[in-house]
Structure 1
Amino acid sequence: MNWKVCLAILTCNVVFMSSSYTMLVPFLPMYLTNELGVDAASVNIWSGIVFSSTFFVSAIMAPIWGKMADHRGKRLMAIRASFLLSISYFLGGIVTSPLQLTFMRMFQGFSSGLWPMELAIMTIYAPPKKLGICLGIMQGALTAGGIIGPLFGGVLAEFFGMRMSFFLAAAALFLNFVVLVFFIKEPPTDNAPAVKPVAAEEKGVSLWKIPIIRHMLICSALVQVVILLVQPIMTTYISHLAGQMDNLIFISGLVFSLGGFASAITAPLWGRFGQHHGFFKSMRYALILAGICSIIQSLPTELYTFAASQFAVGLFFSGIFPSINAILAEHTDAKTKGRVFGLLFSAQQVGAMTGPIIGGLIATFLGMKYVFFVAGFILLGISRTIRRKKRQSLEAA
């Protein structure tokens, strides 16, 4: 299969997948109160249960689906994920109680794995010299879907109700299922990678015990912690800076999305930079610059300067995950990519569960601006660790 055709198809799939998810998730508290009858005193508790249930189940299942992908086929696992996710969204549109919604979200976590499988497929089809730009484009598509989703979901919820959003998301994921069945072929397992891969089966050890893979998984989890440290308090912090400004909800959403706009634009550029200068270097630069900008975010006392810093964070943050993905792809063969990207997704889910808890504690006891301080220092700490561990990992591999 031609890699350009594969990239075009998977990029569209990723946009559908990401936008379907994000046009629903921000509005789940509203769905609980308006459609499922949860009272104001209980909505925060139910929101936490509904959100975390998916992360918990998907963190358990991701490595299992990844292992099955290496044995049964990555395309088959992508087809499975698309079909089951479409069912989960449909069920979300017909639930009548918060407990049913929780079970639906648990089933959604069980069904997950589409993103890591599409990454695995693309890393096999992509020519070694085009790996960075391919992963950058897919990361940009993921971010673009994250921008489109809330905007589209808000309009749908306003005019048709949130149940229609669930049904539309189900249709989008079913379209992904059809496209994967008829237009994507199972990638070959004998493609020669750009760098000599680490094959766990040859060394007789688990993937976790291979230093370069372990370090990338830990880094990915920590970066996801940083994302979820900041996201839950972002709109509240923006509202605090905006004061009595008119159209506060619209302004908050716009400022929040600035980072996503910047990331969608620059993710392919970071991929190209990593391809030419090395993915370890692009990862370190992105971590350092994103860390500095995160710390700067705690300083503005006016909304406009905070908005500029939010845009700047997006410019540099978009270089982190494509670099991690490319490093893992370069140092694993086609027969282990399913497990590797399954573990990567699992690590990110663990970070997603941990981040909001830490962020909430920091915001409660120290103040919201210190969340940005902590996020920035974590990113800078990761960059320093990466620099020290790079040589050790490559030598051990």
Structure 2
Amino acid sequence: MRTGRSWKVVLAVLTCSVVLMSASYTMLIPFLPLYLMQELGVSKADVNMWNGAIFSIAFLIGAIMAPIWGKIADRKGRKMMAVRASTGLAVTYFLGGIVTSPEQLFMVRVLQGFAAGLWAAELAIVSATVPAEKLGFSLGVMQAALTSGGVIGPLLGGILAEVFGMRASFMIAGVALFTISLIIIFFVPEPPREPGDIPNRRQTRQMDLLKEPVIRQMLILAVLVQMVILILQPIITLYVAQLRGSMDNIILIAGAVFSLGGIAASIAAPVWGRMGQKKSFGKTMYLAMGGAGICMLIQSIPNSLVLFAIMQFANGLFFAGINPSISAVLANNTKSSVRGSIFGMFFSAQQLGSMAGPLLGGTVGTYWGLKDVFIVAGIIMIITSAFVRFTRREAY
């Protein structure tokens, strides 16, 4: 029953676990190229190829598997799927710390893709546990936790690698993920089900769910938004160096500038969630998308690193309102019995966007120019905002 403190306790516990999860995912990013060269013997000429392949393969496998795990979660239990994902990820991180070749690390990342789905399972648990009138706020809190972990992770990873070594950092990430398993096992109950809430096979067919126009639109938007969020990844360091006119301490400075968007998103996500609950998630969505698009376009203008950093923070304030709104629309337009499938598909859409974003950013930056990456990203967001504004349905 969604009463009293029970849903608040579940939300608090899952929020903490999401911070740990997100930090564990991202803490390895700063030193992965160095790990390949110094620990696994990859040559400098081949490191970019291996880094790209190893980084991307988990997204690809995760995108394929997420809807399957979501469907199983609906039939067998969301808590079980969350424990499966966190335990599986913990094991793969431990394996990542003992590999001796890039080929082995690639296979570990393949296994990591199969183990993925923790975020989708936790969204399904929250959406089935919290009261309907608190859904927007709760999803905003979860998004803030995810973003906070993403900001903390790279900084923590760099410190741990410096103090304990790169292999130890894999082990510490594994411990964090295993801790999540224990937290879920002992503190998170299986979400309540309404009478007749166990889905039949037809109810959980993804193709049938995709026939719903609202669901189809939200998943397409999820791909585009995630693509724009990660479009800067290949060029942010070079762009910051261009604005500074120097490569001195560029990794640290670029990381600090990039993290400003995450800090802003952590602050703003619950506020957007409340706004969506009171006004409408569709209105929140197109306002946030439009604001993010304008900020992206403005970021192509400054010749000052300070101004660029300010706009990076502003950008995070707007992006914070998009994914919680998409999550809420998906939850509000599906039965509780298929929430696992829906959030599995949502996660899959985000994984596809995560692959496409860096590829598009790198291509535009290489053949057009670094400033053009921001222009392309801004135009995409403004078009999506206009689409939501003028096709907005009563469903959202």
Ranges in structure 1 where 5+ consecutive residues have no aligned partner: 193-198
The CA deviation at 1:304 is 0.6
The CA deviation at 1:354 is 1.4
Q: Kindly indicate whether the alpha-carbon contact (under 8 Å) linking 1:15 and 1:145 is maintained by their aligned counterparts in 2.
A: yes
Rounded Cα–Cα distance in structure 2 between residues aligned with 1:178 and 1:246? 43
Specify the code of the residue in structure 2 equivalent to 1:79.
V
Q: Kindly indicate whether the alpha-carbon contact (under 8 Å) linking 1:188 and 1:334 is maintained by their aligned counterparts in 2.
A: no
Q: Kindly indicate whether the alpha-carbon contact (under 8 Å) linking 2:329 and 2:395 is maintained by their aligned counterparts in 1.
A: no
Residue 14 of structure 1 aligns with which residue? 18
Structure 2 residue 72 is matched with structure 1 residue 68: yes
Residue 285 of structure 1 aligns with which residue? 287
Task: Find the residue that maps to 2:18 and give its secondary structure.
Answer: helix
Q: Kindly indicate whether the alpha-carbon contact (under 8 Å) linking 2:67 and 2:206 is maintained by their aligned counterparts in 1.
A: no
Residue 359 of structure 1 aligns with which residue? 361
Task: Find the residue that maps to 2:232 and give its secondary structure.
Answer: helix
Residue 270 of structure 1 aligns with which residue? 272
Choose the corresponding residue for 1:242, options 241, 244, 259.
Answer: 244
Rounded Cα–Cα distance in structure 2 between residues aligned with 1:366 and 1:202? 44
Specify the code of the residue in structure 2 equivalent to 1:321.
N
> Is the alpha carbon distance of 1:202 and 1:314 closer, same or farther for their aligned partners in structure 2, counting shifts above 3 Å?
closer
Residue 175 of structure 2 aligns with which residue? 171
Q: Kindly indicate whether the alpha-carbon contact (under 8 Å) linking 1:147 and 1:257 is maintained by their aligned counterparts in 2.
A: yes
Structure 2 residue 115 is matched with structure 1 residue 93: no
Q: Kindly indicate whether the alpha-carbon contact (under 8 Å) linking 2:18 and 2:149 is maintained by their aligned counterparts in 1.
A: yes
Specify the code of the residue in structure 2 equivalent to 1:78.
A
Superposition RMSD in Å: 2.0
> Is the alpha carbon distance of 1:203 and 1:240 closer, same or farther for their aligned partners in structure 2, counting shifts above 3 Å?
closer
Where does 1:146-225 land on structure 2 (aligned, <5 Å)?
A: 146-190=150-194, 201=203, 206-225=208-227
Residue 130 of structure 1 aligns with which residue? 134
The CA deviation at 1:296 is 0.4
Rounded Cα–Cα distance in structure 1 between residues aligned with 2:69 and 2:33? 30
Rounded Cα–Cα distance in structure 1 between residues aligned with 2:36 and 2:342? 36
How many corresponding residue pairs?
389
Rounded Cα–Cα distance in structure 2 between residues aligned with 1:389 and 1:38? 50
Rounded Cα–Cα distance in structure 1 between residues aligned with 2:101 and 2:195? 49
Residue 110 of structure 1 aligns with which residue? 114
The CA deviation at 1:25 is 2.5
Residue 196 of structure 1 aligns with which residue? none
The CA deviation at 1:245 is 7.0
> Structure 1 stretch 235-244 or stretch 123-132: which is displaced more?
235-244
TM-score (norm 2): 0.95
The CA deviation at 1:102 is 0.3
The CA deviation at 1:160 is 1.4
> Is the alpha carbon distance of 1:137 and 1:191 closer, same or farther for their aligned partners in structure 2, counting shifts above 3 Å?
farther
Q: Kindly indicate whether the alpha-carbon contact (under 8 Å) linking 1:200 and 1:207 is maintained by their aligned counterparts in 2.
A: no
Specify the code of the residue in structure 2 equivalent to 1:316.
F
Q: Kindly indicate whether the alpha-carbon contact (under 8 Å) linking 2:92 and 2:108 is maintained by their aligned counterparts in 1.
A: yes
The CA deviation at 1:244 is 2.6
> Structure 1 stretch 352-361 or stretch 85-94: which is displaced more?
352-361
> Structure 1 stretch 240-249 or stretch 294-303: which is displaced more?
240-249
> Is the alpha carbon distance of 1:191 and 1:278 closer, same or farther for their aligned partners in structure 2, counting shifts above 3 Å?
farther
Residue 30 of structure 1 aligns with which residue? 34
> Is the alpha carbon distance of 1:85 and 1:273 closer, same or farther for their aligned partners in structure 2, counting shifts above 3 Å?
same
The CA deviation at 1:12 is 0.4
After superposition, give the CA deviation of every residue in 1:128-176 in whole Å (9 maximum; x if it has no partner): 1111111111100001101111111101111211111110010011111
Rounded Cα–Cα distance in structure 1 between residues aligned with 2:157 and 2:38? 15
Rounded Cα–Cα distance in structure 2 between residues aligned with 1:240 and 1:76? 48
The CA deviation at 1:204 is 11
Task: Find the residue that maps to 2:300 and give its secondary structure.
Answer: coil
Rounded Cα–Cα distance in structure 2 between residues aligned with 1:169 and 1:340? 28
Q: Kindly indicate whether the alpha-carbon contact (under 8 Å) linking 2:204 and 2:338 is maintained by their aligned counterparts in 1.
A: no
Q: Kindly indicate whether the alpha-carbon contact (under 8 Å) linking 1:258 and 1:311 is maintained by their aligned counterparts in 2.
A: yes
Residue 262 of structure 2 aligns with which residue? 260
The CA deviation at 1:26 is 3.3
> Is the alpha carbon distance of 1:184 and 1:46 closer, same or farther for their aligned partners in structure 2, counting shifts above 3 Å?
same
Structure 2 residue 163 is matched with structure 1 residue 143: no
Rounded Cα–Cα distance in structure 2 between residues aligned with 1:200 and 1:286? 35
Choose the corresponding residue for 1:320, options 313, 319, 322.
Answer: 322
The CA deviation at 1:247 is 3.4
> Is the alpha carbon distance of 1:87 and 1:383 closer, same or farther for their aligned partners in structure 2, counting shifts above 3 Å?
same
Specify the code of the residue in structure 2 equivalent to 1:15.
V
Rounded Cα–Cα distance in structure 2 between residues aligned with 1:74 and 1:329? 15
Where does 1:371-390 land on structure 2 (aligned, <5 Å)?
A: 371-390=373-392
> Structure 1 stretch 182-191 or stretch 318-327: which is displaced more?
182-191
The CA deviation at 1:203 is 11
Rounded Cα–Cα distance in structure 1 between residues aligned with 2:165 and 2:205? 54
Specify the code of the residue in structure 1 equivalent to 2:374.
F
The CA deviation at 1:379 is 0.6
Q: Kindly indicate whether the alpha-carbon contact (under 8 Å) linking 2:140 and 2:271 is maintained by their aligned counterparts in 1.
A: yes
TM-score (norm 1): 0.94
Rounded Cα–Cα distance in structure 1 between residues aligned with 2:326 and 2:169? 33
> Structure 1 stretch 242-251 or stretch 317-326: which is displaced more?
242-251
Q: Kindly indicate whether the alpha-carbon contact (under 8 Å) linking 1:220 and 1:348 is maintained by their aligned counterparts in 2.
A: yes
The CA deviation at 1:249 is 2.8
Specify the code of the residue in structure 1 equivalent to 2:274.
R
Q: Kindly indicate whether the alpha-carbon contact (under 8 Å) linking 2:30 and 2:158 is maintained by their aligned counterparts in 1.
A: no
